[in-house]
Amino acid sequence: MANALVILADGFEEIEAVTVIDVLRRAGVEVTSAACTQRHVTGSHQITVEADRLLDQLWSSSEQRFSEPFDVVVLPGGMPGSRNLRDDVRVRELLARQAAAGQWVAAICAGPIALEAAGVLAGRRATAYPGHALPSAKYTEERVVVDGRVVTSRGPGTAIEFALTLVEQLVGSAKARQLREGMIVS
Amino acid sequence: MANALVILADGFEEIEAVTVIDVLRRAGVEVTSAACTQRHVTGSHQITVEADRLLDQLWSSSEQRFSEPFDVVVLPGGMPGSRNLRDDVRVRELLARQAAAGQWVAAICAGPIALEAAGVLAGRRATAYPGHALPSAKYTEERVVVDGRVVTSRGPGTAIEFALTLVEQLVGSAKARQLREGMIVS
């Protein structure tokens, strides 16, 4: 069974975070949501979600590394959530190690600014919410972009497609098709 | 400014609940989320959300009525969330009074079974997640159905369309169009 880490910073975009957790769990992926600062995290539309863990609980400070491997690390967007992710050295470190280990990283909306800051977009095709520059990437306006093991997407309206793309990659396209139908995606 | 009540029962569908709260708040609607039993409510995919209020805090037991009027009462789907809504006498009472006062009621996925139990679907065109019977309604398979002041829809994949339809009715179609574009809905 694949596993995923979804990181929740204060001011995360709620539709994007909840959609990816919900859809990946429907697909049988073991999802851990981890909060940057405190377990109860309030999103950019004043919805408070209780994260499963604190990011610090996953970090071994003696070894200066995350204690668990994840098949994918996912960043929701939202403001100031995306800036908080970008400015968190633990998040950047995790993303860089994840990419260096050949594992998946994924971000939606403004979330890709943290991928950019972690240096994992260099030369890759990627997208983000309009207006967010990704200077090291080959920017495109597709709704969901997969290049190597980097998945990026654009906003709340693309969150289900983004999540189903992760399902396709981590579980398989049969499961993604089944969920698409079961969730009544157009 | 319009106001909305979104009711969260244990086992609610997270995408549906969060999408409607998020999108209505983007539109400037004042949204209260109210929990049936305790403030921290866990959905059908193990995501825990902190509701703004308890349903009992909105109920005046001396007057046997809800203390605040809402322009719309919205029910997310999910199981067992939808059954819990249907079996809660306060929810049925609220829906019946809401409809009798000519105010909006709305439900998505399995949520319409609570509208059916409250008697507010009689003779109306309505939809629900496949397999949920609405014997008093004229059942259709459209993704979002508006009949009078009753809005129904089908599942997580129709949640944004459902929420934008509520925005259209409560705030106006210009705002709905603006959000559709801003959220990058296809």
Across the interface, of B50, B143, B160, the residue whose CB is closest to A157 is B160
Total residues found in chain A within this entry:
186
What pLDDT shows up at residue A96?
95
Chain A closest-CA separation from residue B98 CA (Å): 25
Chain A closest-CA separation from residue B173 CA (Å): 17
What pLDDT shows up at residue A51?
98
Q: Is the pTM of this model over 0.90?
A: yes
What pLDDT shows up at residue A186?
85
Q: Are A154 and B47 an interchain contact pair (Cβ–Cβ within 8 Å)?
A: no
A78 and A46 Cβ atoms separated by less than 8 Å: no
With beta carbons under 8 A apart, name residues in chain A contacting B129: 184
* Res. B186: pLDDT tops 90: no
- pLDDT band at residue B65 under the 50/70/90 scheme: confident
CA pair distance B158, A180, nearest whole angstrom? 11
The mean pLDDT value for A45-61 works out to 92
CA pair distance B11, B48, nearest whole angstrom? 10
Structure confidence by residue, pLDDT tens digits, A150-167: 999 999 999 999 999 999
Dihedral (CA of A30, B153, A130, A162) sign: positive
Q: Which residues contact A58 (CB under 8 A, 6 or more apart)?
A: A5, A32, A34, A66, A67, A68
- pLDDT band at residue A65 under the 50/70/90 scheme: confident
Structure confidence by residue, pLDDT tens digits, B106-121: 999 999 999 999 999 9
B109 in active site: yes
* Res. B62: pLDDT tops 80: no
With beta carbons under 8 A apart, name residues in chain B contacting A160: 15, 156-157
CA pair distance A66, B16, nearest whole angstrom? 33
With beta carbons under 8 A apart, name residues in chain A contacting B186: 143, 157-158, 186
The mean pLDDT value for A63-90 works out to 91
Q: At what angle do helices A14-26 and B14-26 cross, to 10 degrees?
A: 170
Q: Which residues contact B163 (CB under 8 A, 6 or more apart)?
A: B19, B20, B22, B23, B24
Q: Which residues contact B171 (CB under 8 A, 6 or more apart)?
A: B2, B27, B28, B29
B128 and B154 Cβ atoms separated by less than 8 Å: yes
B63 and B96 Cβ atoms separated by less than 8 Å: no
B165 and B146 Cβ atoms separated by less than 8 Å: yes
Q: How much is the ipTM here?
A: 0.97
Structure confidence by residue, pLDDT tens digits, B15-58: 999 999 999 999 999 999 999 999 999 999 999 999 999 999 98
What pLDDT shows up at residue A117?
98
